[in-house]
Amino acid sequence: MNYEKRLFIKQKIIIHKLKTYLNNLERSSINTSLSSLTYFFPGGRTPGFLIIKTFESFKKFFFNINHYLLSCLSHTIKSPELIVTQNLSNKKFKEIILTWGNKEQFKSDGSFHDKYFNINSKKNLQTLWIILVDKTFPHSNNNIIQIEENYFKKFSVKNFILQFIKTLYDNKFSLSKFLHYFPYPSLFAKNTSDILIDIIKENKIKKLMMPYEPQPFQQYLIGNTKKIKKNIKVVGYLHSAISSFPTEYIFRENSPDKLLVHGEGLAEILTKNLYWPKKRIKLISSMRYQNNKRKKFENNYIYLPYELNKAKDLINNFDKFLSNKKNNSLNMVKIKGHPETLNYRKNKIFIEKLSQILEKNKKKFSSKKNKMNINFCFGSSSVILELLESKKKVIQITSNPLFEIFNSYMWKYISIDKIGDNIFLYKLKKYKKYIKN
């Protein structure tokens, strides 16, 4: 049995265990849509990652409990009260779009342009925009609400203790419910749902749309929406090139009525591996990656992921790879950090060490651009799909192939060659199967 096949079998076993775990919880008193432990994002930093690692190997539970504890400790830096900024008219809204936004998306005319659906808030004033932001920004459109998390100026042990006691009391001192609901994402889910449910009750909302990343606040909102208005249509958009092992997208109780997917290859993964009924999926051309709007990728870059897991292993693997190359065999490369984590201390240190490795192996690179063009991607990175669909060559440096490589047994339009220890070369067999634009 070859290497990829062995990994794929392990992946299928983990997915089956996660689905069984979800089904059992849904038959219990646990509200799975509110639970922070049921967001199975394989990239780490979430409580649900602990469950994934436990099903990979029970002994790994103890080595990954920090993902759960750090989420609980968020109560020391984040207030339970959200900052809500709104400028609403007296109009009755018929549709809500719940999305994320940043400064660049708020335009000088007071409108907001959404990068996921590629539409502007002023296009239809009967659509209400609920925008989750890191910081609120000025706007004049009267169909926009901004929601910002409220950070304490200093660590608040008091708030941690208050939330600890409140979660226990609200759940009648049930330990199992406490473990599911105490991490901060569950509190954020409650607060955002309260805001939107009041709006839904006050308006004749017929549709709720969102760029879908099955996070607790989305799941909990969908469940509560269906309780008060069963006829509301909930539409999710799988907006990005999803992760290589997309366990967070396992079909569940409060999944959207319809999931928009911009690639038949993605649709096949959802139905064949993640339990989605075909009738719940609609194949579309990408709204985010339209040809005239699509990001233009250059060659000879090193792309870093949002989350750097086992950073030391990534550095060592890359160093080994370069040491085995001939002098002047590669084009010069530039490092491109993830835009949302450029200022993280951990990422700055990684970039510094990576620069040292490049300097150490500088003889392997040539300033003459007559060598093979290649891009390197570190760790778990959905940009690999974007690069491949842009007809670029990609090498992935990974520290955990089980969770991070695009296994061709799941990703059937991708060919993958193992060219070193945890180093893989990718090619795309057919274009526009994962990003149709």
> Higher confidence at residue 35 or residue 239?
35
Residue 90: per-residue pLDDT = 65
Residue 195: per-residue pLDDT = 93
Residue 342 has pLDDT above 70, yes or no: no
Residue 294: per-residue pLDDT = 52
For 214-258, what is each residue's pLDDT tens digit? Answer: 999 999 999 999 999 889 999 999 988 788 999 999 999 999 999
> Higher confidence at residue 269 or residue 204?
269
For 361-399, what is each residue's pLDDT tens digit? Answer: 988 888 777 667 889 999 888 889 989 998 889 999 998
3-state secondary structure the chain: CCHHHHHHHHHHHHHHHHHHHHHHHHCCCCCCCCCHHHCCCCCCCCHHHHHHHHHHCHHHHCCCHHHHHHHHHHHHCECCCCEEEEEECCCCCCEEEEEECCHHHECCCCCEEECCCCEECCCCCCEEEEEEECCCCCCCCCEEEEEECCECCCCCHHHHHHHHHHHHHHCCCCHHHHHHHCCHHHHHHHHHHHHHHHHHHHCCCCEEEEECCCCHHHHHHHHHHHHHCCCCEEEEEECCCCCCCCHHHCCCCCCCCEEEECCHHHHHHHHHHCCCCHHHEEECCCCCCCCCCCCCCCCCEEECCCCCCCHHHHHHHHHHHHHCCCCCCEECCEEECCCCCCCCHHHHHHHHHHHHHHHHCHHHEECCCCCECCEEEECCCCHHHHHHHCCCCEEEECCCHHHHCCCCCCCCCEEEEEEECCEEEEEECCCCCCCCC
Residue 1: per-residue pLDDT = 63
- Across 97-111, 248-262, 285-299, the highest mean pLDDT is recorded for 248-262
Residue 110 has pLDDT above 60, yes or no: yes
Residue 286: per-residue pLDDT = 86
Residue 299: per-residue pLDDT = 85
> Higher confidence at residue 65 or residue 183?
183
Residue 205 has pLDDT above 60, yes or no: yes
pTM for this structure?
0.91
> Higher confidence at residue 1 or residue 25?
25
For 117-165, what is each residue's pLDDT tens digit? Answer: 999 998 888 899 999 998 888 877 788 999 999 999 999 999 999 999 9
Mean pLDDT of 153-178: 96
Residue 115: per-residue pLDDT = 92
8 Å CB contact between 146 and 131: yes
The proportion of the chain whose per-residue pLDDT surpasses 70, expressed as a percent, equals: 97
Residue 125: per-residue pLDDT = 83
Residue 24: per-residue pLDDT = 96
Residue 221: per-residue pLDDT = 97
